[in-house]
RNA sequence: GACCUGGUAGCUCAGUUGGUAGAGCACCUCCCUUUUAAGGAGGUGGUCCUGGGUUCGAGCCCCAGCCCGGUCACCA
């Protein structure tokens, strides 16, 4: 199917010129395969009879039997009239043995001498039919009788070799290349694939746990008119038909609570959330949070549920509750310690800050060396104290409970202390993994809390929280007492797979776009150089300095702006040209 | 956003006070029918991230920028 216009001759020339010698050889091999009557991209189904994993795990029952396998050829050891190669399918890798006289039907041995030895390369996808056997040195192999080309690879893969000691040589380890070309990473780095398989095991484990309890998995809007449920800068977009702004959700909390109002007893959602903030080892602009809300429960119940859930997740994904995270061994075996946040501060700073006002708290902060500024209220100060003095101590899973009210606008007031809330964060390896509340369901108090938040953030910034009037309306109809939790799934996967970077647990982490090499003509270069020396400058001045004819000038400047190398601004002072980005 | 590392062949990396651009693997040619980081002989391959500057001469020094990574800041 040809959806795009055919390549012109000159385009082909340019493309060929950009190819590396290795790529040119492969394209020539592709052509020669076709000349031999071999379709390098056949359409028909290739029926396999086994997977590599099945064979290796039940070798005795396969030995001597015929199998049909398909996969990518990862390496070759050619020895004259016989060769070994490594075949990799979705389940694993195994060796195949290829003998000239067994796979070739003609006297010249074309299939072996020409097709296999000359025209196939590492990375090609092939199908084989052959007999399972063990070599002299005892390696499980398949003796190939028939070889089928299933897909010719035109780009060379990085060559990664593993020696007898399991030591990896020339590992494909450049982070930028690995993330930009994750498909290559997945092909050559088996452990990367394992990480992502484990990620799915983790989410399946959670779903399984909830579904067995008849909790309902739901989907709520990603495009929201008011980005609520958290305080973060949202991504903004625009709906043309409604002519209104819409935001990518920063959280789904307020929508799930609406569903609890609507009469569901328990709802959960794996929510892709989006926050327009900095990126680093633990933050990606889009990330996944699992949020769960259960009616008639409180945060104490939620702690028990969380312990049970994480113990199961660890067992399902790692077959043990003891998980190595960095240098630490972390046990996900229930129960977990429960420490009120003020108690934690007392333990790690020696100061009992319960009931302290802003002034007294600032004094404590100074004494223990925590930086403060004027804008910080009681809640923020306690948060800072905990964050810098306590958090990193909690390596084993620990519920930090009973946060100050000021920090928790969606949380129900504590049943015994009106200054606190019924909230916990679960700390693991010194980081927050989950955040849960007894949800605030008093609509009048909720409105007041929102208004307090508005005051706190009302410093003329663009993050001022909107009040979601519809959410308040829903609460006014009555929401049962409810407990909710959000678990950072990316972070959980990082823990369970012992990765310290979020990019290692996302298939396609956000990256800056690749810089495309821009080709400039001589004329364009001339203009570009004048402009570079004096940007921005009046369009007419630039045109005069170029000395170009009207026609030549027009073409050149249009091409430059098309390539974003120059930009024309129409201002009150006249038409200006400046360097593009 | 600030600071620190780095960017050299398809991949992993060396590169001396600033003096002809290097290795291993991959690739090409040849030998080799149970090897396994297969082996042996020979060979091809470079925008040294980009643009300026200093210099007789820059991969190396200086300036500006781009991109990855790290640390910090930001992030209830």
For CA atoms A118, A124, A126, A132, the dihedral sign is positive
pLDDT at A455: 77
pLDDT at A525: 58
How much is the CA Rg of chain A, to the nearest whole Å?
31
Return the closest nucleotide (C1') to the Cα of A529: B51
- CA–CA gap between residue A94 and residue A100 (Å, rounded): 20
Asked whether the predicted pLDDT for residue A5 surpasses 70, the reply is no
Return the closest nucleotide (C1') to the Cα of A162: B37
Return the closest nucleotide (C1') to the Cα of A168: B37
- CA–CA gap between residue A144 and residue A129 (Å, rounded): 6
The spacing between the Cα labelled CA in A564 and the C1' in B45, in angstroms, equals: 34
ipTM of the complex: 0.91
pLDDT at A553: 72
The spacing between the Cα labelled CA in A357 and the C1' in B73, in angstroms, equals: 27
The spacing between the Cα labelled CA in A553 and the C1' in B53, in angstroms, equals: 30
Return the closest nucleotide (C1') to the Cα of A453: B76
The spacing between the Cα labelled CA in A47 and the C1' in B37, in angstroms, equals: 33
**Maximum mean pLDDT: which of A409-418, A506-515, A522-531:** A409-418
pLDDT in tens, A168-226: 888 898 888 899 899 999 999 999 999 999 999 999 999 999 999 999 999 999 999 99
The token pair at A90 is 């979705």
The spacing between the Cα labelled CA in A237 and the C1' in B59, in angstroms, equals: 46
pLDDT in tens, A514-567: 754 444 555 665 666 566 555 566 777 777 777 677 776 776 776 666 555 566
DSSP notation for A55-86: HHHTHHHHTTSEEEEEEEEEEEEEETTEEEEE
The spacing between the Cα labelled CA in A25 and the C1' in B42, in angstroms, equals: 20
Asked whether the predicted pLDDT for residue A1 surpasses 60, the reply is no
The token pair at A573 is 């002072």
End-to-end CA distance of chain A: 36
pLDDT at A183: 94
The more confident residue out of A569 and A79 is: A79
pLDDT at A388: 87
| Phi, psi torsion values for A150, nearest 5 degrees | -110, -30
pLDDT at A7: 28
The spacing between the Cα labelled CA in A395 and the C1' in B71, in angstroms, equals: 22
Among protein residues, the one whose C-alpha sits closest to the C1' atom of B13 is: A170
Mean pLDDT across A413-434: 94
Residues A152/A124, Cβ–Cβ less than 8 Å: yes
Work out the burial of residue A546: count CB atoms within 10 Å of its CB; fewer than 13 is exposed, 13-18 middle, 19 or more buried: middle
The spacing between the Cα labelled CA in A61 and the C1' in B52, in angstroms, equals: 70
Instruction: For residue A57, give every residue at least 6 positions away whose Cβ sits within 8 Å of its Cβ, in sequence order, or none.
Output: none
pLDDT in tens, A483-505: 999 999 999 999 999 998 999 99
Return the closest nucleotide (C1') to the Cα of A277: B75
**Maximum mean pLDDT: which of A168-172, A244-248, A266-270, A514-518:** A266-270
Among protein residues, the one whose C-alpha sits closest to the C1' atom of B69 is: A175
Residues A432/A490, Cβ–Cβ less than 8 Å: no
Among protein residues, the one whose C-alpha sits closest to the C1' atom of B75 is: A277
The spacing between the Cα labelled CA in A526 and the C1' in B56, in angstroms, equals: 29
pLDDT in tens, A361-381: 988 988 888 888 777 778 888
- CA–CA gap between residue A410 and residue A447 (Å, rounded): 10
Residues A59/A140, Cβ–Cβ less than 8 Å: yes
Mean pLDDT in chain A? Answer: 87
Mean pLDDT across A131-136: 96
Q: Which nucleotides in chain B lie closer than 7 A to a protein CB?
A: 1, 9-13, 24-29, 31-39, 44-45, 47, 66-76
- CA–CA gap between residue A128 and residue A439 (Å, rounded): 59
**C-alpha distances in Å from residue A539, one per residue of A98, A298, A559:** 68, 68, 15
Asked whether the predicted pLDDT for residue A424 surpasses 90, the reply is yes
pLDDT in tens, A382-405: 988 998 889 989 999 999 999 988
Asked whether the predicted pLDDT for residue A14 surpasses 50, the reply is no
pLDDT at A563: 55
């Amino acid at each position: 199917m040809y959806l795009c216009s055919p390549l012109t001759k000159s385009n082909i020339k340019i493309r060929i010129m950009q190819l590396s010698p290795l790529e040119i050889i492969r394209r020539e091999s592709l052509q020669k395969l076709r000349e031999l009557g071999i379709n390098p991209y056949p359409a028909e189904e290739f029926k396999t009879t086994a997977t590599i994993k099945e064979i290796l795990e039940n070798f005795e029952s396969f030995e001597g039997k015929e199998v049909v396998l398909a996969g990518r050829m990862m390496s070759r050891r050619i020895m004259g009239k016989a060769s070994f190669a490594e075949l990799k399918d979705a389940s694993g890798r195994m060796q195949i043995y290829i003998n000239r006289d067994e796979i070739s039907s003609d006297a010249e041995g074309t299939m072996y001498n020409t097709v296999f030895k000359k025209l196939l390369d590492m990375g090609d996808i092939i199908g084989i039919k052959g007999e399972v056997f063990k070599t002299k040195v005892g390696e499980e192999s398949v003796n190939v009788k028939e070889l089928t080309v299933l897909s010719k690879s035109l780009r060379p893969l990085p060559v990664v070799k593993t020696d007898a000691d399991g030591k990896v040589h020339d590992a494909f380890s450049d982070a930028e290349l690995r993330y930009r070309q994750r498909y290559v990473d997945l092909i050559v780095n088996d452990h990367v694939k394992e990480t992502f398989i484990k990620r799915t095991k983790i989410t399946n484990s959670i779903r399984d746990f909830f579904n067995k309890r008849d909790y309902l998995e739901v989907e709520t809007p990603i495009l929201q008119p008011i980005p609520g449920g958290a305080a973060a800068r949202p991504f903004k977009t625009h709906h043309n038909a409604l002519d209104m702004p819409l935001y990518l959700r920063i959280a789904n909390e307020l929508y799930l609570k609406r569903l609890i109002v609507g009469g569901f007893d328990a709802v959960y959602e794996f929510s892709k959330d989006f926050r327009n903030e900095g990126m680093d080892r633990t933050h990606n602009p889009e990330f996944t949070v699992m949020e769960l809300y259960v009616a008639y429960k409180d945060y104490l119940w939620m702690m028990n549920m969380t312990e049970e859930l994480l113990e199961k997740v660890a067992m399902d994904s790692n077959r043990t509750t003891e998980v190595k995270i960095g240098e630490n061994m972390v046990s996900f075996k229930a129960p977990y310690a429960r420490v009120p946040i003020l108690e934690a501060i007392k333990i790690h700073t020696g100061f009992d800050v319960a009931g302290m006002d802003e002034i007294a708290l600032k004094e404590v902060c100074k004494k223990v060396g925590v930086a403060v500024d004027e804008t910080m209220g009681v809640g923020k100060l306690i948060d800072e104290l905990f964050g810098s003095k306590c958090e990193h101590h909690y390596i084993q899973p620990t519920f930090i409970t009973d946060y100050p009210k000021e920090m928790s606008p969606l949380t129900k007031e504590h049943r015994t202390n009106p200054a606190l809330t019924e909230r916990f964060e679960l700390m693991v390896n010194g980081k927050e993994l989950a955040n849960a509340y007894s949800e605030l369901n008093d609509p009048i108090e909720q409105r007041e809390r929102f208004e307090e938040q508005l005051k706190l953030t009302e410093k003329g910034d663009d993050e001022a929280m909107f009040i979601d009037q519809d959410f308040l309306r829903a609460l006014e109809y009555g929401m049962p007492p409810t407990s909710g939790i959000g678990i950072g799934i990316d972070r959980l996967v990082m823990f369970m797979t012992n990765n310290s970077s979020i990019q290692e647990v996302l298939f396609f982490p956000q990256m800056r776009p690749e810089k495309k090499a821009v080709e400039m003509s001589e004329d364009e270069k001339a203009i570009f150089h004048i402009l570079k020396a004096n940007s921005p400058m009046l369009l007419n001045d630039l045109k005069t300095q170029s000395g170009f004819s009207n026609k030549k000038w027009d073409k050149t400047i249009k091409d430059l702006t098309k390539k974003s190398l120059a930009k024309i601004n129409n201002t009150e002072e006249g038409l200006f040209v400046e360097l593009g980005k």
